[in-house]
Amino acid sequence: MKNVCTVLQRNVNVLIENGVFSAIKTFSEYGCAFDELRVLPIDDTDRIRKTIDGLKSEYENILLLTENRALKTVANVLSGTLGQGSFLGGVNGAGMYSDGQTTLYLLSIDDDETGLEYAKNVCLPNFQKRYGVRFDKTVVRAMGANIAHVEQLLRKAQSIDGGRIKYLHARKYDEDVLEIRYDDSAPKMLVDDVVRLFADGLGDTVYALTDASLEEQLIELLKLRRKKISVAESFTGGGIARRLTSVSGASEVYFEGLNTYNEESKLRRLGVSEYTLRTVGAVSDQTAYEMALGLLNTGVCDVAIATTGLAGPNTDRSMLPIGLSFIAVGTKEQISVYRYKFDGNRKEITEKAINYALFLAYKQLKKL
């Protein structure tokens, strides 16, 4: 079984819509992992028609994603390409088409929820009925792994799985999410060997063998350990607090979050010493340490996270390099400070720091 996802959009040179990734993930959860992703110009109907004609000879399933206002145009192309009687049913322009050999799923990415509900309730049950197999998955999540090493592990897994397992790998802000997908024909021992390959190969960077985010894992562990956490953020601007409070039940373990962006705020709210700020500056390991210490000195929280750094695009009067970041994670017994030099634009630097802060807190808490 070979599957391809084709995205139709107006500008093929820009990043594809978020709805595309949601659709791909939804299909993969039902065992329809994609071997290829293509992007075509939405207004070139001749090219769309020729591409679909070519894909039909190579793929059994084609997922077509486009904007809502283009659905009817694409539907007409499909009818002309697959012939009369190919339409299997649909709603609001979305639908399924088949020529007996290849099935095409046409979905809009404008209204993410509507399109995904149609996919879950109509398209994917049809897919599973056709193949008559039960699909399952195991998820490996890691933070800070070397990308070349991850790709090497993927190649090694593919060399031993005999083509019976598919992999969906996503990397964002230095976090890797590996979905290992298989059906009833894959021996359990083989699946276990592949999962072990990734778990052992990625080592300490692994934080979950389930499809649970960093913040979900950290909140769950805080509940298990009966600990409360507080956060003091400078350049991450409340991003860590936002991630933590997005988890249901976070109020049981989340005490407070301070966005101490200004040096005066660090001094007044957290007790960072004026001497520290004057001698080593706000972006330093000592400042990060004192920020975390200020949270712990309230006597209420058990775990503290503090961040300070330069997200750019310009440096400050210290002339330190853009991307320099210090993350302090600690308990009443010990505070550890980590230094990073993140690459990327302002958003990328900030999001990487948020990910690492959550990961480091999770790792430290696991040791308690």
pLDDT(112) > 60: no
Mean pLDDT (the chain, rounded): 90
Q: In whole angstroms, what is the distance from residue 228 CA to residue 315 CA? A: 34
d(CA 30, CA 120): 9
* Superfamily of chain region 136-208: Ribosomal protein S10 (3.30.70.600)
Report whether 68 contacts 94 (CB < 8 A): no
- 209, 192 Cβ separation under 8 angstroms: no
Determine the pLDDT at residue 200: 98
Type and span of the H or E element at 255: strand 254-259
| pLDDT tens track for 197-244 | 999 999 999 999 998 999 999 999 999 999 999 999 999 999 999 999
Extents of the domains making up the chain: 3-131, 136-208, 214-366
pLDDT at 314: 78
Q: Would you state the pLDDT for residue 113?
A: 63
Between 117 and 103, the more confident residue is 103
Whether residue 351 contacts residue 239, with contact meaning beta carbons closer than 8 Å, is answered with yes
pLDDT of residue 301: 97
**What are the beta bridge partners of residue 232?**
258, 306
- Please say if the pLDDT value at position 178 is more than 60: yes
Any idea which fold 214-366 has? Maf protein (3.90.950)
Through-space distance between the first and last CA atoms of the chain, rounded to whole angstroms = 47
For the 3-131 domain, the top CATH level (class) is alpha beta
Phi, then psi, of 62 in degrees rounded to 5 = -125, 120
DSSP 320: P
What mean pLDDT do residues 341-363 have?
A: 97
**Residue 242 confidence (pLDDT):** 97
Q: What is the pLDDT of residues 277-323, one digit of tens each?
A: 999 999 999 999 999 999 999 999 999 999 999 999 877 777 899 99
> 27-31, 180-184, 204-208, 273-277: which range is least confident on average?
27-31
Q: What is the pLDDT of residue 343?
A: 96
The pLDDT, as a whole number, for residue 93 is 63
Question: pTM of the full predicted structure?
Answer: 0.74
What per-residue confidence (pLDDT) applies to 117? 77
Residue bearing the bigger pLDDT, 221 or 133: 221
Q: Give pLDDT, residue 89.
A: 73
Q: What is the 3-state secondary structure (H, E, C) of 215-248?
A: HHHHHHHHHHHCCCEEEEECCCCCHHHHHHHCCC
Query: What pLDDT is recorded for position 116?
Result: 74
